[in-house]
């Protein structure tokens, strides 16, 4: 496995999303849906390793970032391209909800 979920916080959020495609999981430790999404995103991180990164941010530990992006439901995944929001996906979803968006974003340009 080359891809792993990278855990981030308020201090390195901006620099991590600035120059590439990133999927950021906004989660809370106590949320069972958030915990259930980690295995799906780990597979995506591995499969798309050459094209993007998967990050995870605990909104209770970094409420300032959660507030900026109006995260009121966990899990929420926001897919960024070069620091700009491309797609926002709320709640637990099947892998295709994420891979379809990533395929459109990454491979539609080639």
pLDDT at 2: 59
Distance CA 17, CA 11 (A): 12
Range of the domain at 50: 6-107
pLDDT at 107: 87
Q: Render each residue's pLDDT in the chain as its tens digit; 110 residues.
A: 457 999 999 999 999 998 889 999 999 999 999 999 999 999 999 999 999 999 999 999 999 999 999 999 999 999 999 999 999 999 989 999 999 999 999 987 55
50-71 burial: b if 16+ Cβ within 10 Å, else e: eebbbbbbbbeebeebbeebeb
pLDDT at 1: 47
Select from 71, 73, 109 the least CA-distant residue to 91.
73
Judge whether 88 lies within some domain: yes
- What's the domain count of the chain? 1
Q: Determine what percent of the chain falls in helix, strand and coil, rounding each to the nearest 5.
A: 35, 25, 35
Select from 56, 41, 60 the least CA-distant residue to 3.
41
Whole-prediction pTM: 0.93
What CATH number does residue 47 fall under? Answer: 3.40.30.10
């Amino acid at each position: 496995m080359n891809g792993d979920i990278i855990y981030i916080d308020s201090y390195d959020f901006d620099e991590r999303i600035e120059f590439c495609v990133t999927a950021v999981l906004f989660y809370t430790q106590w949320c069972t849906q958030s915990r259930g999404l980690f295995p799906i995103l780990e597979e995506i991180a591995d499969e798309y390793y050459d094209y993007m990164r998967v990050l995870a941010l605990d909104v209770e530990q970094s409420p300032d970032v959660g507030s900026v992006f109006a995260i009121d439901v966990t899990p929420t995944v926001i897919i960024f391209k070069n620091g700009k929001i491309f797609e926002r996906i709320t709640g637990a979803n099947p892998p295709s909800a994420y891979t379809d968006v990533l395929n459109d974003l990454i491979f539609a340009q080639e």
